Each structure stands twice: as structure tokens, then as C-alpha cells.
Amino acid sequence: MGRQYFGTDGIRGTVGQSPITPDFVLRLAHAVGQVLRKTEARPTVLIGKDTRISGYMLESAMESGFNSAGVDVVLLGPLPTPGVAYLTRAQRASLGVVISASHNPFADNGIKFFSAQGTKLPDAWELDVEAALQQAPAWVESAQLGKTRRLDDAAGRYIEFCKSTFANDLTLKGLKVVVDAAHGAAYQIAPKVFHELGAEVVSIGCSPDGLNINHEVGATHPQALVAAMRELKADFGVALDGDADRLQLVDNEGRLFNGDELLYLMADDRLGRGEAVPGVVGTLMTNMAVEVALKARGVQFVRAKVGDRYVLEELEKNRWILGGEGSGHLLALDKHTTGDGLISALQILQALVRSGKTMAQLLAGVALFPQTLINVRLSPGQDWKSNAAMQAATQAVEAELGDSGRVLIRASGTEPLVRVMVEARDAVLAQACAQRIADTLRA
């Protein structure tokens, strides 16, 4: 049976449209409860959420669904996705649930799950849930109904966990840090983490009203942070997304650093301290300059499919620690089981404090290759993979670029588009090569 509801990162959609409706979410929680009770008599589930107005409605529906299946619920309130993953493990819960649509606008929402170990769940588990959704509900008797309580200090526990990943002998005293939480789940937590480590903190994007999450702020709209940095003359700027699992950083000159550059900095810091870094995992979209720079340091580099779950799969397969995406999903598996924007920021700031250098200085030898991305709309039924002209043009471009560039052609997962990406040391060459390939698809 294929997956009807689960995508690459849980279930997501527009609120009020299937499947993000209260009746479906109740059924979903009930089905998950049935799956949990196959292996555990009295499961306990933690539920956290971001700041979307729809979170209240979906949280109530999910709570009822779990209780009806004989599952106890612990409500965490607004908490970053990685915070839910951490507390699921720390509380020895059976499952962690996050109600969030991450970087999407407020009208969207979603549900994602973490295992008892604080990790993403495998496809087989999701298929079990989908199968349970096809079955009739099995309401437990009144005496077996689940109960619900609230964990009042969830945010404080997660703050202490984040701080524990920062070196005890270092401090952020003397540094002015601007924190942009995208009006999302970390709006109270992120400023406190940096303040309690000694920094002077200025907060933007920390005033959620249920409707403004990710709106012109945060990691997906870093221009707000860049502008604030220039105005406030701060040392560092930290931008998170709505559920705080991705990160962008800005330096004191207003320069924005993406996830590819930050991934290199994390590896560079460990190498500089004499730690072994046998390999790093990026994605198909990771800038080639990072791959070249890591290989020059003797570090293997592997590309996974786009999506942090695929990066995690490659890390686990190779037994490596560091991986990430240009979007700012960064993984340091010796610090946390999942991508965490706050912990990633602390790893970078720790490296900067320890070295006494700026991000620009540490990245002086890693000049990102220019990328050109062209979207080509397909005609109905168009078989682009068998296009001989495209294949010939691609081979010619790859031969021309050699080791100084690369080509990536992939279909959109949501639209009838083919994305043609060419990366080269020269921007004009990248544009010309991408256009040559794209033109064969339009012919």
C-alpha cells in the first residue's frame, strides 16, 4: 500500500482542507494510538506546536483522538520541533507530536512525529498508521480512556538542553546578538538561550499573533534580519524559521550566510580542534564549493536527496555526525537527534568565540559557486527523461565544466516543471550552460 497522507516530513496542507481538518486529525491520532498500543499497554504521547492560530483547534482534536484510543497526552505548548524531539527522549515518552507547518505561512499547518528516541520514524511505521486509518475506530472503554496533563516547564527544560551544547569554558559576554524567531515556536526560548549565555540580545520576529508566523521575517525572509543588523550595529544575527529547525546567520557587516557555508564552518571548527570528521553529508543542491573545500581537508562528502530525513539516513548509514542543507537544516548528531536551529547557531558562535575570527575570515577559502536555476514547464504527457537533445546538451555541458562545475536536472514534486540547475565557478558560464539545456526541453 502506498502512502496517501504522509509526505517527506509528516502530513501538511492548508487548514480547513483535507487532510488538515479537526475530524481527520482526531482520526489520525486515534489510528496512531492503535498502532502504539500494539506494543505498549499504556502509551504516553507529547504534543508541541508552533504559534499558528489553528494550533489550538488541531491540538484539541489530536488530544481527543489519543485519549479515545487509551493514550495519555502531555501538552507542551508552543515549542520548537527539536524541543519536542528532545523532551520525547528525556521524558521517556512513547511518541512526540509536533503541530507545525515549519516555514509555511499561517494558513497551512501539519503534523509530524518523533520516535521515543527523538528521531524521525521510518516509512514502515507511517504505513502502519495509514493502514489503521482505513479501519473502523476502536474506542476504549471509559475506564481505559487516556488522560491529559500539561508540562509547565517544557520551555525551561529545552533552554537548559540547548545551553548544555555550548562549551562550559566559553561565554557570549560582550557580544550583541539579534534574534529573529519568525514569530514562531522559539519566540520566547531563543532570546533566553543567548541571553543566559551572556549575550546582549535584541529580539525581532518574537511577537506572534497567530497570523504572522514566517511573514516577512525569519530564516525564509532574512532581509529583515540583515536590515536590523545594519541598523543596530550588532555582532551576529540569528534567523530561525517558524518551528526553529532551520537557521540563517548574518554577520556584523550584514552579510548573510546560508546552510552550506554554516555546515562547512561546523566541520572546520571540529577539524581545528583535532576531532575526526571522516565525512559530511549534503544534498543534491549543496554548493560545490563546500564539497571541494571539504575534500581538500581530507573529508569525504556524500550527497543525499533533498530533505533532512534523507541527510539523516545517509549520516546513519555512514556513521557520521555532520550534515545539512543550504536552507539551514543542519545536523550534529553528537548534540541532538534531529536538526536544531538554536543548537546549530550555538555551534557556529562557539567556533567564532573560540577562534576569535569572523565568519568571513573562516570562510575566506570557500567562495560559493554561482548557481543558475531555470524552471521549464512541461507539456501534458511530455517525457523529458527520454529527450535525446537534452541528454546530448547535458553531456556536452558536463564535459565543458569538468571538475569546475556540475549539472542537476530534476522534476518538481509539486508542479509540472523540470528544474535545470548548473553550477560553475563563472556566473556567465553557468547561465549560458543552463539556458542551453533548458532550450532543448522547450523545443
**What is the C-alpha to C-alpha distance for residues 364 and 144, in angstroms, rounded to an integer?**
62
Count other C-beta atoms under 10 Å from residue 337's C-beta: 19
Q: Which of 441, 247, 202, 440 is nearest to 346 (CA)?
A: 247
Q: Which of 99, 136, 127 is nearest to 4 (CA)?
A: 127
Nearest-angstrom CA–CA distance, 401 and 372 = 14
Is residue 102 flagged as an active site residue? yes
Q: In the sheet where 417-424 sits, what is the strand order?
A: 371-377, 417-424, 405-411
Instruction: Return the residue matching grid coordinates 533533498.
Output: 306
- Residues forming a β-bridge with 419: 375, 410
User: Under a CB-based contact definition with an 8 Å cutoff, are residues 311 and 329 in contact?
Assistant: yes
Is the Cβ–Cβ distance between 25 and 61 less than 8 Å? yes
Residue 433 amino acid letter: C
Lookup result for grid cell 537557521: 247
DSSP alpha helices (H): ranges in 273-419? 288-296, 308-318, 341-355, 359-362, 388-401
Instruction: Convert 122-187 into a string of H (helix), E (strand) and C (coil).
Output: CHHHHHHHHHHHCCCCCCCCHHHCCCEEECCCHHHHHHHHHHHCCCCCCCCCCCEEEEECCCCCCC
Question: Sign (positive/negative) of CA torsion 263, 361, 352, 272?
Answer: positive
Catalytic residue among 68, 94, 102, 115: 102
- Map residue 378 onto helix, strand or coil: coil
Nearest alpha carbon to residue 260 among 282, 244, 279, 280: 282
- Residues with catalytic roles: 102
